[in-house]
Amino acid sequence: MKTVTRWFAGVLLLVLLALGGLLALSWAPDLPLAELKARWAPAPSTFIEVQGMSVHVRDEGPRDDPTPLLLLHGTSSSLHTWEGWAAALKATHRVIRVDLPGFGLTGPFPDGDYRMAHYSAFIAGLLDALQVERVVLAGNSLGGQIAWETALAWPQRVSRLILVDAAGFPMQSTSVPIGFRIARIPELAPLVGKILPRSMIESSVRNVYGDPERVTAQLVERYYQLTLRPGNRQALVQRFSQRDDPRLNQPRISRLGLPTLIIWGGRDGLIPPEHAALFQAAIKGSEVSMFETLGHVPQEEDAAATVAVVEAFLGR
C-alpha cells in the first residue's frame, strides 16, 4: 500500500512540475506600449484622438480622392493585415487603415463596450476626426460585420461595401482557432491575461490560412506581440462575452442597398464559404469573388490576387 501511495505521489509531483514548467514557459506579461509602437508603428503610422482613445491609423494616397477606402481588420488582427492592398491601391486611391479598439496598438475601449452599435459609432467618430464625409468601407471577419453595420447605421457615409469573409450570419464553424476557443471560456479569463504560448498564436494563425505553409515566423511574431499590448487580452474576452445574436441579422442585412463586393476564401473553416452565398442573396445586386485555395484572411494570404478584384470593383 505504501508503495502505491509513493507511486501516486511521485506521479503527482511530476505532473505538478510539468505544469509549473509549462506555465513558466508560457508566462507572458503585457509589453510596454512604447516598445510596441517603436516596432509596429513606423511611418506612415500616426495616432489620432477618437472618443478618448489614441487610435493607430495609416492614411496614404492622394488627398483629393473624394471617396477614400477605409479598411477594417478582424478579431485579434491589426491594420497590418491590409499591407498588400494598401501598397497596390495607394497610387490611385486614398487608403485608410485603422487598429480597431480592443486590438493592435489602439487598445481597449475605455468603457469596455464591444457591441456592434458601439463599433459603428466609433467608425463615424473616426471619419469625423479625419474630416472624411464618405468612404468605400471594406472589412474582414469582425471588420466585415462592423462595415455592414456602419452602412446600416450611417448610410450617408458609406458609398460601397467590400465584405471579406465577413461575420453576420450564424457561423457554423468547422474549425476555430484555439486562441478564440480559450477566450470564450469565462472561467479562464484570469489566465488569459497572464499566459500566452507563442505556439498557440502560431497554431491560431495557421488555422485561418488556406495554406498554412504561407505563415511566416515574422507574421506569427506580429500577432503575438500585438496581442501583448496592454488591455488587448482582456478586451478579447469582453468582446466574446458581448456578441450579438446573429440569428437576427438576415432581415437587417437585406436592408443594404449599396454596391457590394463579397470576397471569400474557399478553405475558410471559421466562417464557411457558404456564407458568401447568404450575403449575396441578402444584398441585392451584390457580387461574389471566391478564392478556392485561400482561408479566412484572403487579403493577407494572397494580397495580389484579391486586390485585383477590388481594383476592378472600384473602377466600375
Q: In which residue ranges of the chain is pLDDT below 50?
A: 4, 7-25
Q: What is the pTM of this model?
A: 0.89
Neighbours of 75 (CB within 10 A): 21
φ and ψ of 138, to 5 deg: -120, 140
Query: Could you report the per-residue pLDDT of 154-211, keeping only the tens digit for each?
Result: 999 999 999 999 999 998 888 878 777 787 777 665 666 678 899 999 999 999 999 9
pLDDT of residue 11: 39
Q: What is the pLDDT of residue 96?
A: 98
Q: Determine the Cα–Cα distance for residues 172 and 164; give it in Å rounded to an integer.
A: 17
Q: Is 154 in a helix, a strand, or coil? A: coil
What pLDDT does 24 receive?
A: 44
DSSP state of 210: S
Query: Looking at this protein, which amino acid is placed at residue 78?
Result: S
Instruction: Determine how many CB atoms are found less than 10 A away from the CB of residue 121.
Output: 17
